[in-house]
Amino acid sequence: MGYPMARNLRSKINQSDTMYIHDVNPAVCERLQQEAGNVNIANSVRDVANNAPYHVQSVFREMLKPDEKAPDHKSTKHERLFIDCSTIDPKTSAGIAKATTTTHQGKFVDAPMSGGAVGAAAGTLTFMVGANPEMFPRVQEVLSLMGKRVLHLGPPTSGLKAKLANNYLLAVNNIATCEAMHMGTSWGLDPKALADMINTATGRCWPSEVNNPVPGVVENAPAGRDYQPGFGTTLMLKDLDLALQAAAEANIIPQLGAHAKDLYKATQGDEKCKDRDFSVVYRYIGGKE
């Protein structure tokens, strides 16, 4: 998702501005530099941090270490702003936000996103922002270059908490959609007709309407490409783990969470389903392809 997000950002900012990027995959950086132009490939996360007043990235610990060579940012027009679009646990995010402030590096906000690779490419992502009210206009200005909706959920960590609640619901909805489509096709129903009905009835949901698990039902859905690429089962497991952990810390025990986690683990352990989009649960439970 990072590449289309960076491409959209580069295409919408002033052409005279230089964009600094870094990724563990150098080839992706080189591709953006060749296709977009005026992109500087940094050698490290620290180099990105030292050269730009705005940051949309996922790793900050290295940046927060003292560096005598770092430029003086007091001369910049605005206090430096770090926007973390990753999905991590709220406690870690709160710690990084505090460290960013206490080391006088700038302000840190959490802004996880929803919309998948398709949304990233189309520039229609939804960002869930956790930030103090006075910071939100600046955050919105940047994220609107990569997404369609930028929602302020509340103070720091609120964006992450909202994202985890959303992805918990997504994890359960996906399983239910796979089971419903499996039932329908086993009863002899046409999968596309069934999905069209669900998508205009009370069962309507993203896993059915956009990411339907039955091959051929939704054009460009991962199911039609052997469930590749997409939102991997391992990523769903990670988000589900984070949601269950955060729920436990609030003395909440989600009744479906453990069962969903077990099913995704089993799906990932099946060689026919391993490392594929999480809708591959349909294949794992024996759905007709």
Per residue in 133-143, pLDDT tens? 999 999 999 99
Residue 52 is predicted with a pLDDT of: 59
Distance between alpha carbon 252 and the CA centroid of its chain, in Å? 24
Within-domain flag for 219: yes
Residue pair 199/208 in contact by the 8 Å Cβ criterion:
yes
Straight-line distance from the first to the last Cα atom of the chain, in angstroms, rounded to the nearest whole number: 27
Within-domain flag for 207: yes
Q: Amino acid letter at 31?
A: R
Q: Is the pLDDT of residue 198 over 50?
A: yes
Q: Are residues 102 and 8 in the same domain?
A: yes
The number of folded domains in the chain is 2
CATH number at residue 179: 1.10.1040.10
Q: Are residues 151 and 207 in the same domain?
A: no
Q: Residue 100 and residue 107: Cα distance in Å, rounded?
A: 6
Q: Which helix (H) or strand (E) holds 109?
A: strand 107-110
Q: Is the pLDDT of residue 264 over 60?
A: yes
Give the domain-ending residue among 121, 155, 189.
155
Q: Is the pLDDT of residue 273 over 80?
A: yes
Residue with tokens 């994202």: 163
Other beta carbons within 10 angstroms of residue 191's beta carbon come to 20
Within-domain flag for 289: no
Catalytic residue annotation: 163
Q: Is the pTM of this model over 0.85?
A: no
Q: Are residues 141 and 248 in the same domain?
A: no
Is residue 18 classed as helix, strand or coil in its secondary structure? coil
Q: Do the bridges between strand 113-114 and strand 125-130 make them parallel or antiparallel, or are there none, so unpaired?
A: antiparallel
Q: Residue 243 and residue 265: Cα distance in Å, rounded?
A: 16
Q: Are residues 44 and 178 in the same domain?
A: no
Residue pair 117/151 in contact by the 8 Å Cβ criterion:
no
Q: Are residues 17 and 151 in the same domain?
A: yes
DSSP notation for 208-245: HHTS-SSTTTSTT-GGGGTT-SSSBHHHHHHHHHHHHH
176: containing domain: 161-284
Q: Is the pLDDT of residue 70 over 60?
A: no
Percent of the chain with pLDDT over 90: 59
Residue pair 159/153 in contact by the 8 Å Cβ criterion:
yes
Q: Are residues 26 and 144 in the same domain?
A: yes
Residue 13 is predicted with a pLDDT of: 77
Give the domain-ending residue among 116, 134, 155.
155
CATH number at residue 72: 3.40.50.720
Q: Are residues 7 and 123 in the same domain?
A: yes
